[in-house]
Amino acid sequence: MHAQVNVPLPAYDDKTDAVLLYSQTEVTVVSADKIKTTVREVYKILRPDGRSRGVIYVHFNPQRKIKSLHGWCIPAQGKDYEVKDKDAVEVSPDMDGAELISDVKYKVLRIPAADPGNIVGYEYEVEERPFFMQDWWEFQEGDPVRESHYSLQLPGGWEFKASWMNHAEVKATEAGNNRWEWAVTDVSPIRHEPEMPPFVGVAGQMVVTLYPAGGKAATGFAEWQDLGKWINDLLAGRIDPSPELKQQVATLTAGKSTQLAKMQAIAEFVQHNIRYVAVEIGIGGWQPHPAAEVFSHRYGDCKDKALLTRSMLKEIGIDSYQVAINTRRGAILPATPPHNFAFNHNIVAVKLPEGMNDPSLVATVQYPKLGRILYFDPTDEVIPFGQIRGELQANYALLTTPDGGELTRLPQQPPAMNSIERMGKLALDQNGTLTGQVTEMRLGERASSERRALRTVTTEKDRIKPIESLLANSLPAFNITHASLINLNLTDLPFGFDYSFQAANYAKNAGGLLLVRPRVLGNKGQGILETKEPRKFSIEFEGPARDTDNFEITIPAGYVVDDVPPPVDADYGFASYHSKTEVKGNVINYQRTFEVKELSVPVGRTDDLKKFYRIIAGDERNTVVLKGAVK
């Protein structure tokens, strides 16, 4: 640490809270069931928000023991500070309500005087019994990095494979006696940008796969197929049903005349009758509980619910497969080396029977060997069987079959499957007050997101808050006179809002003219690219979407339309926007369509996206001019 006091700092800007001067990770493989890791890091704090670098969290569990933990501070003025293991406190992780039991805890060590201008550092050593023979070096973070080192000490005869992500490969240096070292310097920080890919999908990392002497270990993943085989071993025997589970399937499917109706009944049961509760102890973070236990207890996490779904489908002769995925699109890509660190969710791949082509089954892919596969998320209570939510679409996942694992891309649903169709019939009086009624129907994620937010709401006042938010973002003043929900709990039908309102001073008087904005509700224009700093990462949309607005505004007696905005037709490939304003008698009719067709906009096209949003913002501000009728 003292050697870092006077080193030149890496390049940084005025928003940088701290810089990582030095990082060292030493991994020593003792045997196939014991790995020791020592981590040392030294930061210089530049701004008050950098004080958090002086708080160290090290996790532990029955498989991972903390052998030592120390921290130090070298202040700009005065004596050095030191804190040791005895100064640390043990804490449990924050539970989000869905995780019931976890054997993970943290030791937290706070370094005194972690203030701007001071240098803080820490060292800890852990000893671990690994579940799989891989390690992950994350050397790029939110702070600039001056230098970062990684070393690997292997037993005699052992080998390794290093795979690089989001960074040019750095060749290992052999230090003798089967010890290998890597180093990177002047690593730029990753700054948050709105709608950017997930951090894990853009940060520089190295995945190290370990191979014991004499051959490849069952827990070393050279290929995605190897990881799939490892998952299959974890699933062995756990899909088997109990007599009670068999009876439940028979009850659910009794009277159902088609296989599709039986599949839908099973899907609905797991979605709504098996609570999401995680019990993750030891290998339980990766291995699901037996399907019979999940059914008996009526709760489980995502992998438990997926396995139970598969067990129940098997009872009606339907094959299915476990699928590991990350809910942030972009965390796993085709170039990603095989590893088990970045998956955070499990869903099901259902093999559809020959000839089952119901139009409700949208989330499907045709595979050469497996045939037609439908993806289904039994954890999602509000997405109907046959669809998947936006963040899973066009996302890469590990499909596990008896032959192993295959990295595959999930389907992207048509934009019309995720939509808002808003229709309003309104009237304007001579004082500029707008009054009327609006109905909006929602499909896909547009519907499910509202259902999630409203499923625990019990008062009418809280039920209309989404309507209040929409109106507040579009109107300077309003009064809701009626509001109701449509199909809140019928997830196989479109969800909707029906409401009436009054907005005083909606039309603006300008020298005897009335200026009326025909786009009454809804904002599609965004300012996320209106910054001085150049964009570094692609822009990621949540999912494909197609929203339409149709507003009819009856103008007051004694006025005629003097001018209307021009139509807008903007299509940039990744998205399109079309609007037109027409006058029929004493009625202004405004129609527009906004469609997201591609889910990622590369950095090279950010100027196009900025133009696109500006075109939309301009259209949303346009007004119709009314003048007094000539007598």
Kindly write down the DSSP assignment for every residue of 426-465, as one continuous string.
Answer: EEE-TTS-EEEEEEEEEETHHHHHHHHHHTT--SHHHHTH
CA angle 19, 22, 26 (to 5 degrees): 140
Q: What is the mean pLDDT of residues 124-151?
A: 95
86-99: b (≥16 Cβ within 10 Å) or e: eebeeeeeeeeeeb
pLDDT at 193: 94
Whether the Cβ atoms of residue 167 and residue 184 lie closer than 8 Å to each other: yes
Is a pLDDT exceeding 60 seen at residue 467? yes
Confidence of residue 218 (pLDDT cuts 50, 70, 90): low
Helix (H, G, I), strand (E, B) or coil at 218: coil
Mean of the per-residue pLDDT values of the chain: 93
pLDDT at 462: 86
Q: What is the mean pLDDT of residues 305-330?
A: 96
Is a pLDDT exceeding 70 seen at residue 119? yes
Residues forming a β-bridge with 165: 205
Residues forming a β-bridge with 170: none
Q: What is the mean pLDDT of residues 258-262?
A: 97
Record the tokens describing residue 297, joined without a space. Answer: 């207890």
Distance CA 228, CA 582 (A): 58
| pLDDT cut 70: percent of the chain above it | 97
Confidence of residue 511 (pLDDT cuts 50, 70, 90): confident
Whether the Cβ atoms of residue 107 and residue 66 lie closer than 8 Å to each other: yes
Q: Residue 55's CB: how many other CB atoms inside 10 A?
A: 14
Is a pLDDT exceeding 80 seen at residue 95? no
Is a pLDDT exceeding 80 seen at residue 100? no
Whether the Cβ atoms of residue 192 and residue 531 lie closer than 8 Å to each other: no
- Among 183-187, 276-280, 544-548, which stretch is predicted with the lowest mean pLDDT? 276-280
**Is residue 249 packed enough to be buried (19+ CB in 10 Å), middle (13-18) or exposed (0-12)?**
buried
Amino acid identity, position 406: E
Q: What is the mean pLDDT of residues 295-317?
A: 96
pLDDT, tens only, 373-397 = 999 999 999 999 999 999 999 999 9
How distant, in Å, are the alpha carbons of 92, 108, 284, 386 from that of 104? 7, 13, 12, 36
Record the tokens describing residue 56, joined without a space. Answer: 């160290």
pLDDT at 545: 96
Q: Residue 535's CB: how many other CB atoms inside 10 A?
A: 21
pLDDT at 282: 76
Confidence of residue 279 (pLDDT cuts 50, 70, 90): confident
Whether the Cβ atoms of residue 250 and residue 241 lie closer than 8 Å to each other: no
Largest CA distance in the chain: 102
Domains and CATH numbers, the chain: 2-215 (2.60.40.3140), 225-413 (3.10.620.30), 416-628 (2.60.120.1130)
Is a pLDDT exceeding 60 seen at residue 98? no
Confidence of residue 131 (pLDDT cuts 50, 70, 90): confident
User: Which residues have a Cβ under 8 Å from the Cβ of 8 and sit 6 or more positions away?
Assistant: none
DSSP state for residue 93 in the 8-state scheme = P
Q: What is the mean pLDDT of residues 555-563?
A: 94
Q: Measuring CA to CA, which residue among 228, 65, 219 is closest to residue 135?
A: 219
Amino acid identity, position 343: F
Confidence of residue 360 (pLDDT cuts 50, 70, 90): very high
pLDDT at 102: 72
pLDDT at 629: 77
Q: What is the mean pLDDT of residues 64-92?
A: 94
Distance CA 424, CA 500 (A): 9
Whether the Cβ atoms of residue 42 and residue 120 lie closer than 8 Å to each other: yes
Q: Any idea which residue has 């290992």 for tokens?
A: 172
Is a pLDDT exceeding 60 seen at residue 96? no
Phi-psi sector, 487: left (phi>0), alpha (psi -120 to 50), beta: left
Residues in the chain: 631
pLDDT at 582: 97
pLDDT at 458: 81
- Among 9-23, 103-117, 213-227, 610-624, which stretch is predicted with the lowest mean pLDDT? 213-227
Distance CA 597, CA 417 (A): 12
